């Protein structure tokens, strides 16, 4: 299944989701799906990737697990980020009222699909 189709399926399966993007560890967009402005999604994702990398570095310094799911919440939007085993990142952009529990379950399944496609 192509990456765009996997990301579209994620967005359409989560109440309140706005877009999803598959990134390299440095924040470079590999593929994306957005309900609205794809360029804005890519810009936001680059900043979220920087935040993710900083959190990963701090986790490593503290001898904590470095792979998992992280929720980053800003005024007006939230981003759920999940890391793949090879350094790639999948990010889901959501409205403030989005179903976080549903999103966490779905992003995990999406991460597994993306991992199999690599």
pLDDT digits (tens, 9 = 90+) for 6-47: 999 999 999 999 999 998 877 888 999 999 999 988 888 888
User: Pairing between strand 89-94 and 77-83?
Assistant: antiparallel
pLDDT digits (tens, 9 = 90+) for 51-104: 877 777 777 777 766 567 888 888 888 999 988 877 788 999 999 889 999 999
Round to whole Å and give the CA distance between 28 and 92.
15
Structure confidence at residue 103 (pLDDT) = 95
Q: Which domains does the chain show, CATH number per domain? A: 3-117 (3.30.450.30)
Q: What is the pTM of this model?
A: 0.86
- Name residue 91's beta-bridge partners: 21, 81
Structure confidence at residue 1 (pLDDT) = 60
């Amino acid at each position: 299944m192509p990456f765009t189709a996997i990301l579209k399926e994620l967005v359409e399966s989560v109440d309140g989701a706005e877009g999803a993007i598959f990134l390299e560890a440095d924040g470079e967009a590999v593929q994306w799906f957005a309900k609205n402005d794809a360029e804005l999604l890519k810009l936001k994702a680059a900043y979220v990737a920087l935040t993710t990398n900083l959190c990963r570095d701090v986790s490593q310094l503290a001898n904590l697990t470095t792979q998992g799911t992280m929720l980053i919440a800003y005024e007006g939007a939230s981003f759920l980020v999940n890391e793949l085993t090879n350094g790639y990142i999948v990010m889901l952009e959501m409205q403030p009222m989005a179903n976080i529990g549903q999103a966490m379950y779905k992003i995990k399944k999406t991460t597994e699909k993306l991992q199999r496609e690599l």
